[in-house]
Amino acid sequence: MIYQAPWNLLGEGIILSHRANKSWMLKNGFIPDYLRNSFKGGLAFTMMVNYQEADCGPYKELLFIPGFFLIKNRYRLMITKIYVDSEDSIISGRENWGIPKEMAKITWERSGSKTVFEANINDQSILKSRIKSTAFTFPINTKLSPFRIQQILNNKSYVFKPSGKGKSARGELQNLTVSEDYFPNIEELKLVNCLHIKKFNLLFPASKIECL
């Protein structure tokens, strides 16, 4: 079933930011061939999310953003790999925002200061991590970010800018294993920062859609 945008989402998430050279990302970042010349680099992001409330119902998610792309003289972020554990999220995500979601089994277990996240596909591990976060939280808000997300799927371009706010804590990545067959091997990248967004409210607006 397709749940039309906009979506309002509540939950918590882990954001890892990485630094890698451009050549590594072009080889390992699941960047489509037709976008390789548009890729400019910059910080990359891995996100692990537990959507406790969403328009399509609760679901969990793992995604990767390799950095910035220059498309029609504008810098854009783009998701190149993403897994969710909801069929409705897959169908709606592709229809509303051109996000190439794939199905996986995902677990999110939080006990005190520690969060264990695991994603699997066909009984094979995609990624498993353990994060320890501090008790102290600080506000976080997307208003200061000037960047939009642009996705290209089925000869259509989708441009949108999620907005949200929440409470974040510093995190420590204590354990990480990745299967490079299914996800960029971020074990090889320099970890710049780890944040645990313990509570967020996120709005995904309707996209501006253009045929290519």
Count of structural domains within the chain: 1
Give pLDDT, residue 143.
72
Give pLDDT, residue 144.
61
With respect to residue 205, please indicate whether it lies within any of the assigned structural domains. yes
Give pLDDT, residue 152.
95
Give pLDDT, residue 212.
77
* 130-140 pLDDT per residue, tens: 999 999 999 99
Q: Is the peptide bond before 32 cis (omega within 30 degrees of 0)?
A: no
Asked if the model's pLDDT at residue 146 lies above 70, the reply is no
Mean pLDDT score across all residues of the chain: 95
Q: pTM score, two decimals?
A: 0.96
* 150-205 pLDDT per residue, tens: 999 999 999 999 999 999 999 999 999 999 999 999 999 999 999 999 999 999 99
At 145, is the pLDDT very low, low, confident or very high (cuts 50, 70, 90)?
Answer: confident
Which of the 8 DSSP states describes residue 86?
-
* 17-29 pLDDT per residue, tens: 999 899 999 999 9
Asked if the model's pLDDT at residue 142 lies above 90, the reply is no
- CATH code assigned at 88: 2.40.400.10
With respect to residue 102, please indicate whether it lies within any of the assigned structural domains. yes
Q: How many angstroms separate the CA atoms of 13 and 199, rounded?
A: 8
Q: How many angstroms separate the CA atoms of 28 and 25, rounded?
A: 5
Give pLDDT, residue 95.
97
64 lies in which domain range? 7-211
At 81, is the pLDDT very low, low, confident or very high (cuts 50, 70, 90)?
Answer: very high
With respect to residue 119, please indicate whether it lies within any of the assigned structural domains. yes
Q: How many angstroms separate the CA atoms of 192 and 17, rounded?
A: 5
